[in-house]
Chain A
Amino acid sequence: NAGVTQTPKFQVLKTGQSMTLQCAQDMNHNSMYWYRQDPGMGLRLIYYSASEGTTDKGEVPNGYNVSRLNKREFSLRLESAAPSQTSVYFCASRVGPHEAAKLFFGSGTQLSVL
Chain B
Amino acid sequence: AQKVTQAQTEISVVEKEDVTLDCVYETRDTTYYLFWYKQPPSGELVFLIRRNSFDEQNEISGRYSWNFQKSTSSFNFTITASQVVDSAVYFCALSWIQGSSNTGKLIFGQGTTLQVKP
Contacts and interface: CB of A to CB of B under 8 A. Distances in A.
Nearest to B101: A50
Nearest to A107: B44
A50 B47 contact: no
A99 B45 contact: no
A51 to B, nearest CB: 8
B31 A43 contact: no
B55 to A, nearest CB: 11
B110 A42 contact: yes
B84 interface: no
Nearest to B111: A42
B88 interface: no
Contacts of B64: none
Contact of B107 (A59, A102, A107): A59
Interface stretch (A17-25, A33-41, A72-80): A33-41
Interface string A92-114: 10101111111111011000000
Contacts of B106: 33, 45, 94, 99, 103
B110 A41 contact: yes
B97 A99 contact: yes
A97 B91 contact: no
B8 to A, nearest CB: 12
A40 B109 CA distance: 10
Contacts of B108: 35, 42-45
Nearest to A98: B104
B102 A99 contact: no
Nearest to A110: B43
28 contacts: A35-B108, A40-B9, A42-B6, A42-B91, A42-B109, A45-B105, A45-B106, A48-B105, A50-B101, A50-B102, A56-B98, A58-B107, A59-B107, A90-B45, A96-B104, A97-B98, A97-B103, A98-B97, A98-B104, A99-B95, A99-B97, A99-B106, A100-B33, A102-B50, A103-B37, A103-B45, A107-B44, A108-B43
A102 B35 contact: yes
Contacts of B110: 40-42
Contacts of A100: 33, 50, 52, 95
B96 interface: yes
